[in-house]
Chains A and B, each alone.
Chain A
Amino acid sequence: MDNPNNELELIQMAKNGDTNVFKRLFDTNVSRIYSFCLRMSMNRELAEEITQDVFVKAWEKLHTFRGESKFTSWLHSIAVNEFLMRKRSEKRFFQRFTTTDDIYQFDRGTNGSESHYHSSIDLEKAISGLPEQAKAVFILHDVHGYQHKEIADMMNIEIGTTKAHLHRARKLLREELRK
């Protein structure tokens, strides 16, 4: 969304029930949300399912979006909470999905260098093994470039906690990649 005013206008139109305008907002943001979901779940089907749920929830809750944060941040906060909620409520939810092949296809596609590809595989594997909250904070901070304050707001936790999660994630990744 290059022009933020334009995004706000579109959101306003979508709030009035315009699904076609909502489709435009979907088109602009889906690749980022899907990337987050795929990295969190490491499974294409599950990522699609959760991406779908994120946008359906966004549509239902659109009237609560006041434009204080970016629309993408808002969507990411729905996505991360959707994951954490599922993690809590569904027993062994994520154990159904153990493959990590899906995401590597994308990394191969986006990074031309073979060495990058291999290091990315190791890294993605290592990320997939992180504890859920630490993984979410690491992906949001280091991959998507959100600040601790934004992540704390998204996950409804203290800034100190997000820093601790990030530290833990980086430490675990360092140890994993050392092997």
Chain B
Amino acid sequence: MKDSNNQNNCEDFEILLDEFIDGEISASDREALEKHLSTCTSCKRDLEETLNLSKSVSYLSKEMAASPDIWKRIEHKISPQEKGTTKRSSNIFSINQKPRSQRSIYEQHTYSGRILKYSVITLIAAMILIAILPSFFRERGHQSTGFSYPFWPVIQLKGLTTVNSRIVNGRDSIKLGEWIETKDSGKAMLQIPGVGSIILEPNTKVKIVKTDTGEQRISLEYGTINANITTKPGTFIVDSRSAEAIDLGCAYTYSIDTGGNGLIYVKSGMVEMNHDGRKSLVPAGKFCITKTGFGPGTPYRENTSPELKDALLKYDFGNGGHESVNTILKHATKGDAITLLNLLPKVDEENRSKVYERVSHFVPPPKEYRYEYDSIPKMEYKDLHEWINKITKEVNEEIRTQMKDLQKEIQENIQNNMNENLGNIIDNEKLQKEIQENIQKHMEALQDLPQRIEIPNELMQKEMEKMQEKLNKFDSDKFDKEMEKLGEKMEKMGNYWEEQGRQWEFDERNQEREQEMEQRQQELQERQQERMQEMQERQQELEQRQQERQQELEQRLNEQDLERQKELQQQQMEREQELKQQEKEREKELKQQDKERQQELKKENQNYKQNEKNKDQDRDNNDDQDKD
């Protein structure tokens, strides 16, 4: 822009105007522009108008309130249920546990510790919980509060926990419809007034669904919860995609993976699992698998035989049927009586008598359910509670004996580990003493409560892992079988429909391609039209500019002619004046010369006259002399 030849070109300065307004102009360009503006009224006007435009634009709003419905629609589209896919792993163990190689040394040590030590630590944690919140678990037990609490307290136990994206610092609260979520490192306790407490393990997401006095309901989206429920049976429910868990006065651990499949382990009391009429009654010490699209499986104990477990899974989620029932009956022992009892309402008439016979053999039914083996009526789950309680009592009696031995070992370990573990957690001596007293008291009480059977997290996870593997296998087996069946059907129906299908597919693809081509054609046409329009606009602009320049040029030429003419006239006038002046001066000169001539002539005349006079005198004198 430093070229002075371009200084009069407004087109170049137009771009500089933008840079000038936006404060992006260089010093030299600014100087050139200012020089140009001092002479160009058109550019000066453009500048003023653009500045006014900028001022007006500054009044326009940068932010505008959008409808709140937008988020609802977005949420609907992005929620995992809606999309059917999720970014998280479908394996529950990736939620709860990092790969072993990624764990810290401390974590590895803890992870690989003996189950007994794990039990001790879990027990201590449970004891501390009981010691800190005795009134909560004991005094409020089985009491209705009479009204619903609008907020449930939330306590951060460790790491990051959020309530509706709000980070929980220490203590917080949650209300109906809100989400609580623990992150990788997070662990939190949800207190439900008058009902009990829920501990959310890391990577767990729970929604508060209902807070009525008669029913409290939460939804476990994914992750693991440890529930300690002391309210009236049947009033606290945990929803998941594969089943609802109705509390019947108990404590349990419930894990759900991101696919909605889950595993529940009941520590005390009983849980009723339910999905679309498919039920299972899960008493203490039993596992129950839940599968999306199926519901709950049949409960089983931890130490049941692998054959029985496989047969159960096939019966519940595969294509087991009669064969599976036979395997179950073959491998069942007294410890599996609850499993058999849960099968009773499910099996057909033929198998019903076999199952009834087997379970009666282990634990005879209460009086009102004693039938002849060939006339067993279809049983409902509500009819089985008493029998289950009887079985549980008897089985637990056996466990109690085993527990006593374990208890002794635990007590010894507690004494050894007490200072190490508790000392790190709490410094307050008084509180420590109080906790120790409480622990002692509860240890004693525990001896009378053998039905509360804690499960190490590791064991729960392994169990879940095994079951998931099998469930996935069922899925692929089922898929393979369905494909096989489909193939057979296709064969039977001949190739006609296959060809027809191909033809349809071909037609459909053709149609899609045609549509695509049409669309592309349209796009091309549109682009061409746009380009044509742009070209026309540019052409018009160019023509206009050319015309303007032509006019300008003509104007300039006209201006130049006029100026030349004026100049010539001026020169002519000047010459005329000069000539006149010269003439005058000549005249003057001539006059002067005349004057001088006249004077000279006068002088000459005078001289002549004088001479003549002198001559006359001389002559006279001579004459006189002569005379003399």
Contact = CB atoms under 8 A, between A and B. Distances in A.
Given A16-B87, A19-B79, A52 B61 contact: no
Contacts of B67: 48
Contacts of B181: 18, 20
B78 A56 contact: yes
Interface residues on B, range: 35 or more
Contacts of A120: 56, 59-60
A174 B73 CA distance: 40
Contacts of A167: 14-15, 18
B523 A30 contact: no
A173 B179 CA distance: 50
A17 B74 contact: no
A3 interface: no
Interface residues of A, number: 54
B66 to A, nearest CB: 4
A110 interface: yes
B560 to A, nearest CB: 31
Interface stretch (B46-54, B119-127, B418-426): B46-54
A32 B63 contact: yes
B61 A110 contact: yes
Contacts of A52: 70, 73-74, 77
A34 B66 contact: yes
Interface string A11-55: 001001111111110110011101100110000000110011001
The dominant DSSP class at the A interface is helix
A38 B74 contact: no
A59 B71 CA distance: 12
Interface string A87-123: 0110100000000000100110111000010011001
B493 interface: no
A124 interface: yes
Interface string B145-187: 0000000000000000010110000000000000101010000
A123 B56 contact: yes
Contact of B60 (A13, A27, A55, A123): A123
A171 interface: yes
Given A19-B79, A163-B15, A174-B53, A30 B522 contact: no
Interface of B: 14-15, 18, 46, 49-50, 53-54, 56-57, 59-67, 69-71, 73-75, 77-80, 86-88, 162, 164-165, 179, 181, 183, 519, 522-523, 526-527
Given A23-B71, A110-B61, A120-B56, 7 more contacts: A22-B78, A39-B60, A48-B67, A103-B64, A119-B56, A119-B59, A171-B14
